[in-house]
Amino acid sequence: MSKPSVALPAKTRVQPPLNDQIYQKLRWSLTVGDYQPGDTLSIRSLAQVLGTSAMPVREALKRLVSDRALEVSNNRAFRVPVMKPKRVSDLFMIRSNLEGLATAMATPLLPPAQIDRLDDLARKLDADVAAKRADDYLAGNYNFHFTIYTTAGNPDLVSIIEGLWVQTGPFLSKGVRELGLAPDWRTLHGEIAAAIRTRDAGLARALIEKDIGWGTHHFSQLDR
């Protein structure tokens, strides 16, 4: 006698813990500059906006303190750090070197479809600069860069770079909003995509370093 068949449960996607979901949302907001240096993040306000209790919000904020993306002030409030210009400049300098390395590693590996995506993103970034859409530019800028870096085949390097973006995002956003979008940013991303298409790793690396070098130069000038 044959055994009766047993229906297996449908495979469901396991949701990450709530504090991890909140952590990722806040990390993204810092990366793209939704918060400015000195901004305070209220546990109560975030819990209301996110429709959750205070506990997972507090845990997420503590993780961001460990990432050096937030700090705890004297009154135990969480806030975006207000760094001295030299430290911000140094962070952009470190970013420039690591992202140049990631770009050189990724250039021979990026498939044509991904390079086409870079071209599309570069055109969108051009349009965002022309229309002065800072929010769209900052999000698109992240997508452009990490389309490259995630192809480098080195997750540890990408993780370090992501951590630096979380720390510098509020300062890039502040610079963009105060000074406006630099005109040469209209063409630079297209040049990077073109260099990658020709598999010129040296040129692609130099252009990426030039792009990020804006932050190094700008904040070093403020330190004088």
How many residues would you count in the chain? 224
Burial class (CB in 10 A: 0-12, 13-18, 19+), 195: buried
Higher pLDDT, 23 or 181: 23
Q: Where in the chain is the domain with CATH 1.10.10.10?
A: 18-79
pLDDT tens readout for residues 32-62: 999 999 999 999 999 999 999 999 999 999 9
Cα atoms found within 13 Å of the Cα of residue 207, Cβ hemisphere only: 22
Residues 6+ apart with CB under 8 A from 142: 31, 32, 165
Residue 78 β-bridge partners: 41, 72
CA distance 65 to 11: 36
Strand runs (DSSP E) across the chain, as ranges? 40-41, 71-72, 78-79
CB atoms < 10 A from the CB of 29, how many? 15
Distance CA 78, CA 122 (A): 35
**Residue 80 three-state SS:** coil
What's this model's pTM, rounded to 2 decimal places?
Answer: 0.89
Residue 40 carries which DSSP code? E
The domain defined by 18-79 folds into: Arc Repressor Mutant, subunit A (1.10.10)
Decide if 203 contacts 64 (C-beta within 8 A).
no
Average pLDDT, the chain: 91
Contact 170, 36 (CB under 8 A): yes
Alpha carbon distance 38, 211 (integer Å): 26
Q: For the chain, where do the domains classified as CATH 1.20.120.530 start and end?
A: 85-222
Encode pLDDT of 191-224 as tens digits.
Answer: 999 999 999 999 999 999 999 998 998 898 886 6
CATH superfamily of 85-222: GntR ligand-binding domain-like (1.20.120.530)
Structure tokens at 203: 């040129």
pLDDT reported for residue 3: 41
